[in-house]
């Protein structure tokens, strides 16, 4: 048997960033530096390293840097902003934004780590594993690769045009110096690769693991997201069926009071399908994630007037929007994760990739887009809003056309999932153009739906192809 040595973060340059310095700082359970993937035990260690990259742990301080998932998409959608001065991305101008390269490096580190595990585990004999664990390990790694690739497609590819050549730079091999050059794939190929990985995860991932690990239910939720962006008529019945499978057959239930997820329960909430567990003692580190919401550190991320207006007459206003931020007019402390006047805790440092609420809302959206019953979608929407404490459903009852119901679904996705994993942005861009212009006038061109590929990628990988339309290479 060939002995395969993997250092989970790679030895190559990804988007011009060397990983060698980080290797020495990784905790022992998050790397395979100098070890070999030889058996189930070392495979589990390697997979743990992939989860370490999924959580985007900053190896210099051992803090999960999930904030790029929480803030930037909400910034693009107009709900969050930078508290010490507006960034161009807040007006959908990305070329000169501090945040224009989000997800590029972190996603490729995740994908590279997953590819290392997939190759290493695949080459081991089945008898090296107990039961179905080999299939499960591969399925979990492929879920994580699919998640990374879909994030890249959503922010750097023309995901909205199945005939576009501007897809993902798909990497399915562990990167070494000799195999960096590669062209990006087209959009159809990108979707095919992502869905293939998601389907294997649905088929073979464990049904029951701690909710900071991937399960078949998380894979179903991911596939729902992918298909909503894929947006073919045949996709919507599949989304509805996946939602029903999760709702009827999994252990997850809606949290009776949504607020409790963020303030008291964290990963103990019964509706968290996949979350980000903070590192040990992360809440004590001065520059942790939630302290950048309150009271602010060297960075401060805040709610904008648009979010306050969205939550007008909604009970969530009282705990999501805080007092005015004096550093930047028209902004307020964003308190979804941490109460004003309190200190960071393990719960405030917890982040959320998939919650059952999203499954319900995507099911309702799929029903509407498939030409189904608006009444059925209305029931789902009211159920979700009721768990958030809403009692006035007049706007929902008055939505009697497809576009009106899609708008109401989008508004609830934004109210409920803002600042979590980008759904307030992606659901906006799925709306008809007339609604996008009404709700986000600065997103007035499809050029502004996606970001420019970072310049360093063209330096290190000239084979990648053209820059995204509307941007300078």
**pLDDT tens digit string along 25-75?**
344 445 543 347 999 999 999 999 999 999 999 888 899 999 999 999 999
Q: From start to end of 230-337, where are the E strands? A: 272-276, 301-304, 321-324, 331-334
Residue 301 in domain:
no
Nearest to 8 by CA among 143, 198, 134, 141: 141
Asked whether the predicted pLDDT for residue 4 surpasses 60, the reply is no
Residue 35 in domain:
yes
Q: Are 192 and 27 in contact (CB under 8 A)?
A: no
- The 3-state secondary structure of 243-255 reads HHHHHHHCCCCCC
Enumerate the H helices of 298-454 as residue ranges. Answer: 305-310, 317-320, 356-369, 374-387, 394-397, 402-417, 423-429, 433-439
The CA distances from residue 13 to 59, 258, 278, in Å, are 17, 42, 27
Instruction: Report d(CA 381, CA 369) in Å as an integer.
Output: 15
When computed from its CA atoms, the radius of gyration of the chain, rounded to whole angstroms, is 21
Instruction: Report d(CA 333, CA 323) in Å as an integer.
Output: 6
Predicted local distance difference test score (pLDDT) of residue 95 = 93
Residue 387 in domain:
no
From 173-177, 182-186, 261-265, the region with the lowest mean pLDDT = 173-177
Residue 56 in domain:
yes
Asked whether the predicted pLDDT for residue 160 surpasses 80, the reply is yes
Average pLDDT over residues 260-267: 98
Structural domain range at position 49: 1-62+103-178
Asked whether the predicted pLDDT for residue 457 surpasses 50, the reply is yes
Residue 55 in domain:
yes
**Phi and psi (nearest 5°) for 181?**
-60, 125
The pLDDT tens digits of the residues spanning 315-324 come to 999 999 999 9
Residue whose structure tokens are 């395969």 = 4
Q: How many domains does the chain have?
A: 1
Token pair for 159: 């995901």
- Specify which residues 80 forms β-bridges with: 303
Q: Which residues of 148-164 are buried (b: 16+ CB within 10 A; e: fewer)?
A: bbbbbbbbbbbbbeeee
> How does residue 473 score in pLDDT terms, banded at 50, 70 and 90?
confident
Average pLDDT over the chain, rounded to whole? 92
Residue 233 in domain:
no
From 91-100, 311-320, 374-383, the region with the lowest mean pLDDT = 91-100
pTM of the full structure: 0.93
Instruction: Report d(CA 473, CA 460) in Å as an integer.
Output: 13
Predicted local distance difference test score (pLDDT) of residue 60 = 87
Residue 410 in domain:
no
Residue 434 in domain:
no
């Amino acid at each position: 048997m060939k002995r395969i040595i993997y250092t989970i973060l790679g030895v190559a340059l990804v988007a011009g960033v060397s990983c060698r310095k980080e290797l020495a700082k990784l905790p022992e359970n998050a790397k395979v530096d100098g070890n070999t993937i030889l058996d189930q035990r070392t495979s589990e260690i390697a997979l743990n390293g992939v989860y370490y990259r999924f959580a985007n742990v900053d190896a210099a301080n051992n803090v999960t840097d999930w904030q790029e998932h929480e803030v930037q998409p909400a910034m693009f959608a107009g709900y969050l902003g930078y508290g010490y001065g507006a960034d161009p991305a807040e007006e959908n101008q990305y070329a000169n934004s501090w945040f224009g390269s989000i997800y590029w490096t972190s996603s490729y580190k995740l994908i590279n780590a997953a590819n290392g595990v997939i190759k290493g585990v695949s080459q081991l004999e089945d008898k090296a594993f107990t039961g179905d664990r080999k299939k499960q390990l591969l399925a979990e790694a492929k879920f994580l690769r699919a998640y990374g690739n879909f994030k890249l497609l959503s922010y750097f590819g023309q995901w909205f045009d199945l005939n576009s050549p501007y897809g993902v730079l798909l990497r399915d091999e562990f990167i070494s110096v000799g195999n960096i050059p590669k062209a990006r794939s087209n959009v159809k190929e990108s979707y095919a690769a992502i869905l293939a990985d998601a389907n294997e995860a649905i088929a073979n991932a464990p049904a029951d693991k701690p909710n900071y690990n991937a399960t078949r239910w998380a894979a179903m939720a991911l596939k729902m997201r992918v298909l909503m962006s894929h947006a073919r008529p045949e996709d919507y019945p599949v989304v509805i069926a996946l939602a029903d499978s999760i709702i009827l057959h999994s252990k997850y239930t809606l949290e009776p009071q949504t607020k409790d997820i963020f303030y008291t329960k964290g990963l103990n909430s019964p509706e968290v399908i996949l979350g980000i567990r903070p590192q040990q003692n992360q809440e004590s580190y001065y520059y942790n994630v939630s302290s950048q919401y309150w009271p602010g550190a060297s960075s401060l991320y805040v709610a904008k007037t648009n979010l306050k207006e969205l939550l007008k007459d909604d009970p969530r206003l009282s705990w999501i929007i805080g007092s005015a931020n004096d550093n930047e007019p028209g902004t307020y402390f964003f308190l979804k994760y941490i109460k004003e006047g309190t200190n960071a805790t393990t719960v405030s440092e917890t982040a959320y990739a998939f919650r059952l609420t999203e499954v319900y809302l995507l099911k309702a959206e799929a029903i509407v887009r498939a030409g189904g019953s608006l009444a059925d979608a209305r029931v789902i929407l009211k159920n979700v809003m009721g768990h958030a404490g809403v009692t006035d459903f007049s706007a929902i009852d008055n939505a009697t056309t497809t576009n009106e119901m899609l708008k109401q679904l989008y508004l609830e996705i934004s109210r409920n999932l803002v600042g979590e994993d980008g759904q307030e942005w992606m659901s906006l861009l799925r709306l008809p153009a007339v609604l996008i212009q009404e709700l986000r006038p600065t997103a007035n061109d499809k050029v502004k739906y996606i970001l420019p590929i970072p310049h360093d990628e063209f330096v290190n990988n000239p084979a990648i192809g053209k820059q995204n339309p509307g941007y300078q290479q």
